[in-house]
Amino acid sequence: MRALVIEVFDLAPSLAAAAEVFAAAGVPFALAGQLAIWVWAPGSRQGFAKVVEFAVRAVDMPSIDVALVAAGYEVLPLSRGGAAIRVGATRVNFIDRRVEFVALFTAAVDAAQRGSGTTNPDGRVFPVVPPDFLIAMKLATGDPRDERDVERLLDAGTDYDLARATVRTHLGPAVANRLDHIGARVGRAEAARYRPGVLADSGVAISRPW
C-alpha cells in the first residue's frame, strides 16, 4: 500500500526572501496571485498556493535582477515576463508581463501603492494588487481555469463597475464583455447594464428605429 503524501507549501521562506529583495532593490511592488485572491476573497482559501507571486513594473526589473544576484539567487526568466527564484522552500515569481501587459501591471502596482489594502502574512506588511486589477490579470491569461478566481472576487463584492472599467481600459471591450458573462453567471446584477441594447448608466433598453 502506498503512503499518502500531502505536500504543504510553507509561505514564510518565500515571503522573507521577497521582502529582502524588494528592500535591496528599493522598488514598488504588490502581492498578486493566489495570496492576493485570499486577501480580497477570504472564503476562497480552500485553494492551494504553490508559489508566492508579486506584480512588479517592467522598468524596475533590472534593479530586482541585481538584488537577486547580490543575494545569491539564480535568476530564472519567466516566459510571460519577469523572473523567478526556486531554492528549496523558496518559490517566488516577480511578474511584469513585459511581453504583452506592461501597462496593466504597472498600473496595478501603482494602485496598490496608493491603496489601503495590505496584508500581514508572517509579520510583514505587503501592498496588495486591488481586486479590480486582479480580475484584469486573471482575464488576461485567457485560461478558463482563472475564471474561477474572477468568480470568487465578484462573489466577495468587488466593485463591478470599477472592475469592468479597469478590464476595458487594459484588455479591451471584448474581454470586458466576457467579464459581463461571468458577472451574470454569478448573479451580479450590474452586469446586465452592459448588455447590447441597454444604457450602461440607466438599465433602460434602447429602442432603435432600424
Cβ–Cβ < 8 Å for 118, 130: no
Same-domain pairing of 77 and 115: yes
Determine the structural domain holding residue 41 and report its residue range: 7-129
Contact of 88 with 13, CB cutoff 8 Å: yes
Assigned domain for 2 exists: no
Q: How much is the average pLDDT of 172-197?
A: 92
* pLDDT score at 204: 42
Q: Does 100 share its domain with 141? A: no
Percent of the chain with pLDDT over 70: 83
- 1 part of a folded domain: no
Same structural domain, 119 and 57: yes
Beta strands 52-55 and 90-95 are parallel
Among residues 129, 148, 167, the one where a domain terminates is 129
Number of domains in the chain: 2
Compute the average pLDDT of residues 120-128: 78
Report d(CA 124, CA 5) in Å as an integer. 30
φ, ψ (nearest 5 deg) of residue 79? -60, -30
Judge whether 94 and 16 are in contact, CB under 8 Å.
no
| Distance (Å, whole) CA 36 – CA 31 | 6
Q: Looking at 68, 96, 129, which one is the last position of a domain?
A: 129
Q: Are residues 121 and 190 both part of a single domain? A: no
